[in-house]
Amino acid sequence: MRRAFLALGSNLGDRRALLAAAVASLDDVVAISPVYETDPVGPPGQGSYLNIAVELRTERSARELLKVAFELESEAGRRRRVRWGPRTLDVDVLWVEGETVDEPDLSVPHPRMHERGFVMVPLGDLAPELAPGWTVDSADGVYCAGELGGA
């Protein structure tokens, strides 16, 4: 078993319920960050996101976790129309203990996670060693929105 972290976000529909359903679908969750409301990145006119990080203890590889991420997004009705556009659910594989992947469709650790407060603040709640210095106070547009509940 090894540690792995996923980032989940939603800015369409019942955002909190979509996040809770995705987390409930995972059988190897050991911790869930608080929920953060964040400013959207991408095309204008989007609503704000709810974001969380999830820690897993898993035997799955990064590739297997990517498959799980796509399945969760599909179950939530995600349609990939516009890059960085609004979405019911976005799931990213952030980090998998002992594994590095650099392929066209998957990079682990996630190559842009250190640029994104909406990823690093929730990750820092679960694994401060992976997100040194990241707090709500250090990340523009990231606001604590409580616990997920229902997961």
**Cα 122 from Cα 37, distance rounded (Å):** 11
Closest C-alpha among 133, 115, 99 to residue 7: 115
Angle between helices 15-25 and 62-75 (to 10 degrees): 140
> Whose structure tokens read 């608080």?
34
Token pair of 105, please?
């469709």
- Catalytic positions are 78, 87, 90, 92
Give the residue from 99, 12, 10 showing the smallest Cα distance to 20.
10
The tokens for 143 are 């606001």
- Cα 37 from Cα 25, distance rounded (Å): 22
